[in-house]
Amino acid sequence: MSFNYDLDFEKINFRENPEKYRVGRGEQGVLLVEPYKSEILPHWRFKTPEEAKKSSEKIYELFLEYKEKDDFVGADMARKFLQMGYTRARRYTNYKGGRKYKENGEINERQIDPVKAKSAAIFEEKWKLARTDKEYLKLKKSHQKEFG
């Protein structure tokens, strides 16, 4: 089942109402689902490899904590933030200022930034650990079976 953008996200506490959460694809809902967004977002940084390392380690630590509490929604949101760290750092790796398109719709020329590439690789490593974690995958399967 796809992510439901029709919910009133400002009124739902997904820790108290996990049945309303849908996994969706990729990073869907990453900046909407509370209280997780507020718990994880302050740690999300990728500007330099040093920041990416500290950030990805903290977010992965949160992933493990949520998983230990059988809090699938929290674990999935942490996984999404790790994924978003990778994808945003890759965008800034390839395009100065992170902008793929010019105002007229043409694609900007790629300019590889090796610093951002390192940040992306750091996030990718933690994202892969999270998305392949056997306990997380069991929680995901169980959540999807029970709630869709």
The domain segmentation of the chain, as residue ranges, is: 9-147
pLDDT reported for residue 93: 94
pLDDT reported for residue 1: 61
Q: Per-residue pLDDT for 54 more than 90? A: yes
Rounded distance, CA 118 to CA 28, Å? Answer: 24
pLDDT reported for residue 3: 86
Section 54-70 average pLDDT: 98
Token pair listed for 39: 């718990």
Section 76-94 average pLDDT: 97
Rounded distance, CA 115 to CA 117, Å? Answer: 5
